[in-house]
Structures are given as C-alpha cells and as structure tokens.
Amino acid sequence: MCLRDGRPIRSWKLRKDCGFLRLALGIDGNDYDALSALGWATAVFFNDYDTAREMVDGAVALNPNTAMAWELRGWTYQRAGQPEEAIRSFERAIRQSPLDPWLFSRFAGMGIAYIGLGRFDEAVVAAKNALQKNQTLGDGLPPASRPLSRTWGEMQKPGRR
C-alpha cells in the first residue's frame, strides 16, 4: 500500500506507479534503477524523507557507478532539505557521465541547492551550465527548477552581472 502522510493515496495514477516500482523491487530487490526511482518518488510525492533517503542510498550502494541513481539521490536530498549532500550527489553524477543528455538537470539541481545555501554566485554558474546543456531549459521547467530560473532572470537585468 502506498501512503502519503500516513493515509492511503487516492490517486489511481500514483498508486499504480508506486505499485509498479514495488513490483519491480519484489522481482529483483537489487534493481538499483527501481530503488532509486522509488526513493525519489517517495520524497517527491509522499514526503517520507527518511524512507526516501534510505532507498536512494541503497541504490547507489548497489551500484555506485550509475549516474542516474546519483542524480535521483541529489534530487531526493534536495527535497529533504539537505542541499550540501544534494550537491555532492549531483557532482558525482556529472563526473560519472559528463556527456549524459540529462546533464542539464544535474546542474539545475546544483543551482537550486546553492540557492538554498545562499551561495548565489555558484547558483548562477550552475544555471549557466544548465542552460548551456539544454537551451530550452527555461521553456518547460519542472516546478522544482523555477526558483533557479527566476534567480537567473534577476541576474540578467541591467545593472546585474
């Protein structure tokens, strides 16, 4: 059963997706892709950060060489309010797969984490890297990336860097 704040989830789509991830883990408990995805989903949709961190940490322990698991760990830790650990995870994902088509997402995550730490100069550098890797980043941003976009927009105004 999938829960949000201790109550059963009423959304059919979320229940179904959660069930598929749990099914994959039931078939192969060492499936680091499913474990990292379920950990991320647990943080984002269910706000159960302890369980989510345990899952994404388990995923990278199973395979420390998967950039996507490190990225999802970064987003999970960012969501859980631990931006320093999120930055370390995003940095590791970038090092492991420097030509990955999802590289922009890792830089965007770093930028958001830097904003949370009040390190705005580093956030701008991360935003520039994210935009360089994906020129359409500002067009269809996921909600979590919008603060980074707003910060970048402010920095582009006359009289700013």
CA distance 139 to 137: 6
- Do residues 147 and 115 make contact, with C-beta atoms less than 8 angstroms apart? yes
Torsion over CA of 24, 26, 32 and 38, rounded to 10 degrees?
A: 70
Helix spans in the chain (H): 12-27, 32-46, 49-62, 67-79, 83-96, 103-116, 120-133, 146-155
Check residue 31 and give its pLDDT.
83
Residues of the chain with pLDDT under 50: 1
Left if phi > 0, otherwise alpha if psi is -120 to 50, otherwise beta: which for 46? alpha
Check residue 74 and give its pLDDT.
98
CA distance 88 to 92: 6
For residue 3, the cross-strand partners are 8
For residue 4, the cross-strand partners are 7
Give pTM, 2 decimals.
0.74
Check residue 58 and give its pLDDT.
94
Q: Please, what are the domains in the chain?
A: 1-82 (1.25.40.10), 101-161 (no CATH)
Helix 103-116 with 83-96: angle, nearest 10 deg: 160
Number of C-beta neighbours around residue 97 at 10 A? 18
The residue behind tokens 């707003």 is: 150
Q: Express each pLDDT in 50-92 by its tens digit.
A: 999 999 999 999 999 999 999 999 999 999 999 999 999 999 9
